[in-house]
Chains A and B, each alone.
Chain A
Amino acid sequence: MNNVVTTNIVRFIVLVLAQALVLNNINFLGYINPYIYILFIILFPVKNNRMLFIFLSFLLGLCVDLFLDSGGVHAAACVTLAYIRPLVLKFSFGMIYEHQTIKFNNTELGQRLSYFAILIFIHHLLLFSLETFNTSKILLILTKTIFSGIFTLLLCLLITVLFSQKRK
């Protein structure tokens, strides 16, 4: 149990710093940045105290907001993500989720891909619509969502593969 807590604290700090100091300076093709700090929310243990989880996600978003001067955009997207995660888990993993025995490293690639993709696109859509805050720029929001989303998805999959603890 203690091990899980430490892992998550370290993950929190490392992801926020990596996001603020490295990943936000990528600006691939001028505007495409990956937002991989949501890996914290994606990989948070399934058996959890839901209140704590939502609050931690809010804190995560707020930390990123502090660094990026974006008001409360990331916090809003993260809180929503944390709130709807159980639904997405049920949708993607079905039976395994019912028994609360998901180990993200052991799941099938297809299931994991759909789980990641759904969460990432919801997060990005919310993030960019709140950031732009202008319905007349919906096209800009959608292009940003799609391109950044693909970038984030690729990076997230890569990172989870690289840092998976069980090597077979």
Chain B
Amino acid sequence: MQQIINFLVRNKSFLLFLLLFSLSLFFTIQSHTYHKSKFINSANFLTGGIYESVNGIGQYFNLKEENQKLLEENNRLKSVLFNEKNELKADFTLDSTLGNQYELTAAQVYKNSYSATNNYLTINKGKRDSIHEDLGVITSKGIIGIVDNTSSKYARVMSVLNTNSRINAQLKKTDHFGTLRWNGVSPKIIQLTDIQGLAKVTVGDTVTTSGNSTIFPKGIPVGEVVSFKLVETEDVYTINILLFNDMTNIGHVYIIENKDAKEIKTLNDPNE
């Protein structure tokens, strides 16, 4: 017994090191598992609050650009609205609570990173704005990522520039779908994998979300094909996609909630 205690006392700093090191390894491994990184994230009141106060100063610098983006988006939406007015179906909005499958919430980005291999954004909407996990996040130009952690005031978004991120997407022209991943190299280029070898891919094709999952509605733009490669052994394409969004410069985003998500999930889940 004496010797055990002696051993502990002699090696106390090594043991402390081992303990803390394994603790941080535990956090690290958790952060590499989807939906497991609960403890260490920036969507808490302390870091969120600090980011908020700094963002209060920083956001003035981007006002001009943000205004330009809003103007473009307004312009696009207005043109859609005016052109559709004449042929709008009369029974389309009988009941606004039934008609809206998707509900959008606007939010502001407090923190954005794109140089790490697992990137996250912190936004200023949380549980009290009824934001929860697994909601899609987009801008007017295209997709950003998926909400993966929330506190009462803030939420953390797993960016598409995250090696753990898997999002369903398709070629707009041919409806062949695959999985969006990121190889960690360039913040402008992401990869669309598992596209059937039968599909005809050409450089410049648009890629959109596929609507196969309950997170994103169909047809949200992702990017355009810049190059592609056929993996001979598996007969699938790996396609490099240039994102429409400039991920290095994101100000305002929209969070999409699919009101039918729960229903669709229960339908697809055989255990319930």
Contact = CB atoms under 8 A, between A and B. Distances in A.
A68 to B, nearest CB: 7
B32 A71 contact: yes
B198 interface: no
Contact of A70 (B31, B54, B186, B248): B31
B42 A72 contact: no
Interface residues on A, range: 35 or more
Nearest to A83: B17
Given A27-B115, A69-B113, A131-B116, A80 B21 contact: yes
Contact of B117 (A27, A82, A132): A132
Interface residues of B, number: 43
Interface string A124-159: 000000111110010010000000000000000000
Interface centre among B41, B44, B185 (most CB of A within 10 A): B41
Interface string A35-70: 000000000000000110011001001100111111
A72 B40 CA distance: 8
A76 interface: yes
Given A55-B16, A130-B28, A133-B32, A70 B50 contact: no
A30 interface: yes
Interface string A76-104: 10011011000000000000000000000
Interface in B18-64: 20-21, 23-32, 37, 40-42, 44, 46-47, 50-51, 54
Given A33-B115, A131-B118, A58 B24 contact: yes
A102 B17 CA distance: 24
Contacts of A73: 24, 28, 31
A117 interface: no
Given A30-B115, A68-B113, A75 B13 contact: no
B24 A132 contact: no
Given A55-B16, A70-B31, A140 B184 contact: yes
Contact of A72 (B24, B46, B114, B163): B24
A130 B26 CA distance: 11
A66 B47 contact: yes
Contacts of B37: 69, 71
Contacts of B24: 58, 61-62, 65, 72-73, 75-76, 79
A69 B25 contact: no
Given A72-B23, A133-B117, 17 more contacts: A20-B50, A27-B114, A58-B20, A58-B24, A62-B40, A66-B44, A67-B42, A67-B51, A68-B113, A68-B116, A76-B24, A79-B21, A82-B17, A83-B13, A83-B14, A132-B184, A137-B117
Interface of A: 17, 20-21, 24, 27, 30-33, 50-51, 54-55, 58, 61-62, 65-73, 75-76, 79-80, 82-83, 130-134, 137, 140
Query: Which 4 A/B pairs are nearest by Cβ-Cβ distance?
Result: A71-B31, A72-B27, A72-B24, A75-B24
13 contacts: A27-B115, A58-B24, A66-B41, A71-B28, A72-B26, A72-B40, A73-B28, A73-B31, A76-B28, A83-B14, A83-B17, A130-B28, A131-B118
Interface of B: 12-14, 16-17, 20-21, 23-32, 37, 40-42, 44, 46-47, 50-51, 54, 111, 113-118, 120, 122, 156, 163, 184-187, 248
